[in-house]
Amino acid sequence: MIDLSLNYELTKKFIVKFIQEELKSNNFEHALIGISGGIDSALVAYLAVEALGKENVFGVLLPYKLSSKESIEDGLKVVKDLGIEHEVIEITDIADCYFEREKIQDKFRIGNFLARIRMSIIFDKAREFDSIVLGTSNKSEILLGYTTWYGDMAAGIYPIGDLYKTQVFGLSKYIGVPESILNKKPSADLWPGQTDEDEIGTPYSEIDQILYLYLEERKTKDEIMEMGFKKEHVENVLNRMFSTQFKRTLPPVCKISLRTFGHDFLYPHDVFK
């Protein structure tokens, strides 16, 4: 196993500075975060308070009737520990109105819809509080595409987007995220009993190694398997990554004019006054 742990003091400083600079250069003072009770949003909230001060960070807790009891308890623990202003908005009525009307029972449709309802409320609240939305996506879930496109992925900036999930755990422990959050299994909490690792089929300890070896050490699939990783896990991780490239790029634009978004305007000087 490759040691993916980082110098967490330095990592924290980089992310804190990143949040400060991104807000400043885009003329924002406030940041808003959807707080789920999970580790990604907890970590981002702690880093945001360090970067901006507790008076400039807002938390929104958006439980659905099937959200786990621990999620809401841990979410409240985060906002109370940090002393940030927060709102709890239950999304059951809004979501069930649509599910009942369309007779939807498929858990994936339900889960993706919940993620997109949350996104709508988060951006509405960002407008109300004149804030940038801090994304909570990490490198592992972005690379796997394990996320709802334009749902929980939607954000202004990604402070922990270059940290593998195992590094999210390392940094969270380092900065003192509450134990109950550190000790529970990552879950999208979109249906009862859901956990990331069960749904994906490979534990994060292996996902991160496989992604790292393939992307950063440029090992081939065969070389990774020769290092002792099971074929089913290597194929699972790489296939998920290849099949979700669309989630990591702007939608392709059909080029007609001489100057087209996505094809041109690739550098800041293209659009400067």
Ligand X SMILES: Nc1ncnc2c1ncn2[C@@H]1O[C@H](COP(=O)(O)OP(=O)(O)OP(=O)(O)O)[C@@H](O)[C@H]1O
Annotated binding site for Mg(2+): 40, 141
Q: Which is nearer to ligand X, 117 or 227 (CB)?
A: 117
Long-range contacts of 9-15 (CB under 8 A, 24+ apart): 9/174, 11/163, 11/167, 11/171, 12/47, 12/50, 12/171, 12/174, 12/175, 15/47, 15/51, 15/159, 15/160
Question: Which positions from 186 through 225 interact with ligand DND, judged by CB under 6 A?
Answer: 188, 190, 196, 199
From ligand X, Mg ion, ligand DND, none, interface partner of 213 (C-beta below 5 to 8 A by class) = none
Q: Tell me which of ligand X, ligand DND, Mg ion, none is bound by residue 41, counting a contact when its beta carbon lies within the kind-specific cut-off of 5 to 8 angstroms.
A: ligand X
Size of the chain, expressed as the number of residues it contains: 273
Beta bridge partners of 57: 31
Among positions 9-48, residues that touch ligand DND (CB under 6 A) are: none
Q: Which of 144, 142, 133, 258 is CA-nearest to residue 201?
A: 144
Task: Give, as one character, the DSSP assignment of residue 185.
Answer: P
- In which order are the strands placed within the sheet that holds 30-34? 85-88, 57-61, 30-34, 131-133
Tell me the window of 28-36, 102-110, 113-121, 134-142 that interacts with Mg ion (CB under 5 A). 28-36
Residue 52 or 91 having the CB closest to ligand DND: 91
Shortest CB 13 distance to ligand DND, Å: 27
Per-position x/- string for 9-48, each x denoting binding to ligand X as judged by CB under 6 A, each - no binding: -------------------------xxx-xxxx-------
Q: Pattern 168-207, binding to ligand X, x per CB under 6 A? A: ------------------xxxx------------------
Sequence ranges of the binding site = 34-41, 116, 136, 141, 165, 187
Q: Which amino acid is at 89?
A: I
**CB-nearest residue to ligand DND:** 188
CB of 83 to ligand DND, least distance (A): 26
Q: Minimum CB separation from ligand X for residue 128, in Å? A: 16
Of residues 108 and 220, the one with the C-beta less far from ligand DND? 108
Site residues (CB under 6 A) for ligand DND, limited to 94-133 = 108, 111-112, 115
Contact 87, 128 (CB under 8 A): no
Instruction: Please give the Cα distance from 155 to 33 (Å, whole number).
Output: 9
Strands 131-133 and 57-61: unpaired
Answer whether 241's CB lies under 8 Å from 265's CB: no
Q: Which two tokens stand for residue 256?
A: 């007609």
Q: 33, 58 in Cβ contact below 8 A?
A: yes
Residue 246 makes contact with ligand DND by CB under 6 A: yes
Which spans of this chain sit near ligand DND (rule: CB under 6 A)? 108, 111-112, 115, 141, 145-149, 151-152, 188, 190, 196, 199, 246
